[in-house]
Amino acid sequence: MFPHYHHIKYFSFVAMLSQLFFLSSCTSPSVPEHFTESQDFPSIYPDYIGVTVPVNIAPLHFHIDADASATDFVTRFTAGDQQWTVGGEDVRPGLKKWQQMKAAALTAEGNISVEVFIKSQDAWQRQKPFDITVSKDSIDPYISYRLISPSYVTYEDLTINQRCLENFDESLIYGNMINSDEENGQCINCHHSQWYNPQRIQFHVRQYLGGTIIAFDGKLQKINLKTDSTLSAGVYPTWYPTKPWIVYSTNSTGQSFHTRDVQKIEVQDTKSNLIFYNLETNEVTPITRDTTRFDCFPFWSPDGKYIYYVSAQWQRRDSTEQMDFELIKHYKEVQYNLYRMPFDEQTLTFGPRELIYDAVARNRSVTLPRISPDGRWLMFTEGQFGVFHIWHNTADLFLMDLTQAAPVEPTPVAIFSPNSLPASVLPPMANNVQRENIADSLREAQGLRTPLPAAIRPISELNSPDVESWHCWSSNGHWVIFSSRRTDGNFTRPFIAHHDGNGHFTRPFELPQDNPQYHRQFLRSYNIPEFLSGPVTIRPQDFAALIKKEATPAQLKMK
């Protein structure tokens, strides 16, 4: 339900003592001599069957989901010519054994073979063995993320955390309760580092004591990015790869609630633009100001030459109606395309926008472009409509090969609606997602919808029937981490997958936890998981002290 902090080592002493007690009262488990074979893989949580893990990942602890008649469990790990056995339905080999397993696997074929034996009604059965592949490609040692209950307007106990991927240590970067009371609430969001550097990070504080917190090589600042000529303070950020420059979207955002749909909530922008912030001069420069377009989710290419972002065109249907009501009414018609703008490092100016992917012509909406460190692969989230795909169960991850991508001309299309197709072609019992997919296939067959460009493919090896979004490449480009609601449909969990450098991914695995059932009990979502090359060393109390101070207003600089 709730976070754990390695800072509370103090209290771990009690847990350690109890573990020692239990360990001393147990004997080492042995694999049964006689057993029958099952043709099925064991049912385990998290599902680590057939996954590939980095050489420096924390132990993959898992829980065996067996029926009530199961009375005993033994799991045997085999790597090379070495074997380890672990007893119990919670399979927790621990850090030391796990290091040995990985080392042995790397000297052999890279695989750790796992056999699960379950005793039921006095008879043992071996489940179908599975492999965990250990990759020589390492992963950045830390990730940062926000932990938030998937609530709608309340936000107590909101934290930005960091987690060491090499073990189970988790600690706080900043939590809102240190500066909140009943009267004054505080939201925190949009943490982001410059090129994985934990010394160069930023996040926003909203409402009480609001401002943008920027840590840059030991210097801590609190900036007010809102100016008279910009829509809002900075929202979704992207750092320039090397210089202290950040491009933000500025957004006017609202949310409303689905009365029946299990997606439950719709977050919409009623306005959004892009701004450029120069930390050296503390100046904000508007980049886009078109009131008929919603520009969002900027991302700087690794060479710094382009800003990729998404943008939706919106023409008012009824100017007498309030804009947010109009958008609520037509929320499915707001769809975003993928654009980029060239950036001139000398003049700090942006060139004209170029359409890179016309998703609207495919009755789709893209968000969150993220480019691999080698600059070749662009991963984005695509859904049916809207910009906040973490609440859309149509949201999937897509990959674009930028070596094959080129600016395209927009295709004029009609507004898509499932109702535009005769009801007879849509199965009555299909859910919304199924109906939309069937409708789109039919449109594509009729030439009403453009096919997917050759440079783009859905990453089926990563996607699930539920939400995938908020992805991030590792600094070596061999790993991606993304959020998915596939576990229970309501709470996002981070998943990690290996990338072979050629656009192919292995089966993703859920972020390992010491207690394998941790995520089943945990009632908060992981938001924006991002890799870090090391831990953020600034203490939450230091952030808190800074946040209590007045924000420095940024100066507006018009081009």
Q: Which residues bind another protein (CB under 8 A)?
A: 1-5, 7-8, 10-11, 15, 149-157, 159, 172, 175, 177-183, 256-262, 264, 266, 328, 331, 487-491, 515, 518, 520-523, 539-541, 544
CA-CA distances (angstroms) from residue 134 to 51, 78, 409, 433, 482? 9, 13, 44, 36, 20
How many CB atoms are closer than 10 A to CB 539? 14
Ramachandran bin of 224, using left for φ above 0, alpha for ψ from -120 to 50, beta for the remaining angles: beta
Whether 371 and 308 have beta carbons less than 8 Å apart is answered as yes
CA-CA distances (angstroms) from residue 414 to 361, 439, 450? 9, 14, 12
How far apart (Å, rounded) are the C-alpha atoms in residues 50 and 68?
Answer: 26
How far apart (Å, rounded) are the C-alpha atoms in residues 529 and 139?
Answer: 14
Phi and psi angles of residue 432, each rounded to the nearest 5 degrees, phi first: -60, -45
CB of 170 to another protein, least distance (A): 10
CB of 172 to another protein, least distance (A): 5
Assigned token pair, 546 = 């800074």
Tell which residue, 453, 449, 450, 496, has the closest CA to residue 473.
Answer: 496
How far apart (Å, rounded) are the C-alpha atoms in residues 12 and 25?
Answer: 20
CB of 96 to another protein, least distance (A): 21
How far apart (Å, rounded) are the C-alpha atoms in residues 442 and 464?
Answer: 23
How far apart (Å, rounded) are the C-alpha atoms in residues 388 and 291?
Answer: 20
Q: What is the dihedral of CA 535, 537, 542, 546, to 10 degrees?
A: -70
CB of 109 to another protein, least distance (A): 35
Whether 392 and 494 have beta carbons less than 8 Å apart is answered as no
Phi and psi angles of residue 334, each rounded to the nearest 5 degrees, phi first: -90, 110
Q: Give whichever of 64 and 402 is closer to another protein, judged by the CB atom.
A: 64
Assigned token pair, 513 = 């936890």
CB of 208 to another protein, least distance (A): 11
Assigned token pair, 338 = 């993928």
What DSSP state is assigned to residue 520? H
CB of 350 to another protein, least distance (A): 34
Residue 30, classed as helix, strand or coil, is coil
Cis peptide before 465 (omega within 30 of 0): no
CB of 257 to another protein, least distance (A): 6
Q: Which helix (H) or strand (E) holds 469?
A: strand 468-473
Q: Give whichever of 273 and 525 is closer to another protein, judged by the CB atom.
A: 525
CB of 10 to another protein, least distance (A): 7
CB of 8 to another protein, least distance (A): 6
CB of 154 to another protein, least distance (A): 4
359 Cβ contact list (under 8 Å, min separation 6):
335, 336, 337, 338, 365, 366, 382
CB of 186 to another protein, least distance (A): 10
Q: Give whichever of 41 and 331 is closer to another protein, judged by the CB atom.
A: 331
Ramachandran bin of 124, using left for φ above 0, alpha for ψ from -120 to 50, beta for the remaining angles: beta
CB of 511 to another protein, least distance (A): 15
Please report the sign of the dihedral spanned by the C-alpha atoms of residue 378, residue 384, residue 390, residue 392. negative
How far apart (Å, rounded) are the C-alpha atoms in residues 443 and 378?
Answer: 27
Q: Give whichever of 109 and 156 is closer to another protein, judged by the CB atom.
A: 156
